[in-house]
């Protein structure tokens, strides 16, 4: 699977600023700490490292003493995520993965005017994903959103992506999202490179508009309740390298004349569906293909 390049701005962070953090930023971090029902020893760690929050565990500042990163993955934290994090106006990167956070994902974090990477995967967050256009009117800087392995439910949002024009990676796998895949995803987020919606409860047809994802390299929507056929328009997403729809209810036949246009494809996984007909001989013309999964379908005829 191709890697996702983190924007250089995120990497140019100085770990030892010459200036201490402001009282307001320290207050915001302490509010976040106060919202935890279990802090995994974080309060002790922060107290032992003095009053300059730039020296606190999991906190990184720039040379001006502004907090740019809060990285607290796998710290044994429990409780709700405080909206005070969104008040850190220079915050670029938030990693709260592999903890036990509960409650909803705050719209303040997704609609932040500074956050570029937000990772809250492997927690116990629940409820619907915020529908942002009702809250914001300008495009957000968020580029990487990872909310996989939580307990999010209700319909997968559609309007949110209209203000996510900078989004390059969205991983919402292993949740309980229902409804259709939004047909506005690529229209709202034209630079999307990775989309992972595996292990949800999505239904309906695969939207033809996914073919408008000109930058998309990884598309994974396996283990859902999708139906209908694999739309021929999908081949318009010519950058695709990983196309995966296993264990759904897809039907129809594979159109060899269109499949061959996926010239960059490396992995094609359509196993565990109800696809019928013959395996197109044109698949042999996909010179970059490394993995092909068509098992557990209703296909017949000779192997090309």
How does pLDDT run across 68-83, given as a tens digit for each residue? 999 999 999 999 999 9
Average pLDDT over residues 29-56: 95
pLDDT band at 131 (very low <50, low <70, confident <90, very high): confident
Distances from the Cα of 64 to the Cα of 12, 69, 85, 140, angstroms = 13, 13, 18, 24
More confident residue, 1 or 150: 150
Residue 281 domain boundaries:
103-299
CB 29 within 8 A of CB 57: no
Q: Does the structure show a pLDDT above 70 at 6? A: no
Place of tokens 């695709």: 240
Q: Does the structure show a pLDDT above 70 at 10? A: no
- Residue 45 placed within a domain: no
Place of tokens 């004349």: 257
- Residue 247 placed within a domain: yes
Q: Which CATH number do you get for residue 266?
A: 3.80.10.10
- Residue 11 placed within a domain: no
CB 222 within 8 A of CB 5: no
Q: Does the structure show a pLDDT above 50 at 56? A: yes
pLDDT band at 139 (very low <50, low <70, confident <90, very high): confident
| pLDDT reported for residue 133 | 67
Distance CA 87, CA 89 (A): 6
Q: Is 61 helix (H, G, I), strand (E, B) or coil?
A: strand
- Residue 37 placed within a domain: no
Distance CA 130, CA 132 (A): 6
Average pLDDT over residues 122-134: 87
Q: Does the structure show a pLDDT above 70 at 165? A: yes
| pLDDT reported for residue 150 | 98
Task: Render pLDDT for 225-246 as a digit per residue (tens, 0 to 9).
Answer: 999 999 999 999 999 999 999 9
Structure tokens at 98: 């592999």
- Residue 197 placed within a domain: yes
Q: Does the structure show a pLDDT above 80 at 291? A: yes
CB 287 within 8 A of CB 264: no
Distance CA 3, CA 170 (A): 13
The total number of structural domains in the chain stands at 1
pLDDT band at 1 (very low <50, low <70, confident <90, very high): low
Average pLDDT over residues 246-268: 95
Distance CA 199, CA 177 (A): 9
Q: Does the structure show a pLDDT above 70 at 14? A: no
Structure tokens at 51: 């009053």
Q: Does the structure show a pLDDT above 50 at 12? A: no
**pTM, 2 dp:** 0.91
- Residue 71 placed within a domain: no
Rounded to 10 degrees, the C-alpha dihedral 84/119/151/225 comes to 140
| pLDDT reported for residue 24 | 94
- Residue 283 placed within a domain: yes
- Residue 84 placed within a domain: no
pLDDT band at 130 (very low <50, low <70, confident <90, very high): confident
| pLDDT reported for residue 3 | 53
| pLDDT reported for residue 156 | 92
């Amino acid at each position: 699977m191709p890697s996702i390049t983190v924007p250089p701005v995120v990497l140019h962070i100085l770990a030892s600023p010459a200036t201490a953090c402001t009282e307001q930023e320290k207050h915001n971090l302490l509010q976040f700490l106060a919202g935890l029902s279990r802090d995994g020893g974080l309060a002790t760690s922060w107290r032992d490292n003095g009053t300059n929050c730039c020296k606190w565990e999991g906190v990184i500042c720039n040379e001006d003493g502004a907090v740019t990163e809060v990285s607290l993955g796998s710290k044994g934290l429990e409780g709700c995520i405080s909206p005070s994090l969104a008040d850190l106006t220079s915050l670029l990167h938030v990693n709260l993965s592999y903890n036990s956070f509960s409650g909803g994902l705050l719209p303040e974090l997704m609609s932040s005017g500074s956050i570029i990477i937000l990772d809250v995967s492997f927690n116990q967050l629940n409820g619907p994903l915020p529908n942002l256009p009702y809250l914001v009117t300008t495009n957000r800087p968020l580029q990487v959103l990872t909310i996989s392995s939580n307990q999010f439910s209700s319909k997968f949002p559609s309007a949110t992506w209209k203000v996510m024009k900078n989004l390059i990676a969205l991983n919402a796998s292993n949740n309980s999202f229902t409804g259709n895949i939004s047909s506005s995803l690529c229209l709202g987020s034209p630079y999307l490179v990775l989309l992972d919606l595996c292990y949800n409860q999505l239904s309906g047809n695969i939207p033809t508009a996914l073919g408008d994802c000109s930058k998309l390299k990884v598309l994974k929507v396996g283990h859902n309740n999708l139906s209908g056929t694999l739309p021929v328009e999908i081949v318009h997403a010519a950058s695709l390298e990983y196309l995966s729809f296993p264990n759904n209810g897809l039907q129809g036949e594979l159109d060899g004349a269109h499949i061959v246009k996926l010239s960059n494809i490396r992995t094609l996984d359509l196993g565990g569906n109800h696809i019928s007909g013959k395996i197109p001989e044109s698949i042999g013309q996909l010179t970059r293909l490394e993995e092909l999964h068509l098992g557990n379908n209703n296909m017949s005829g000779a192997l090309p």
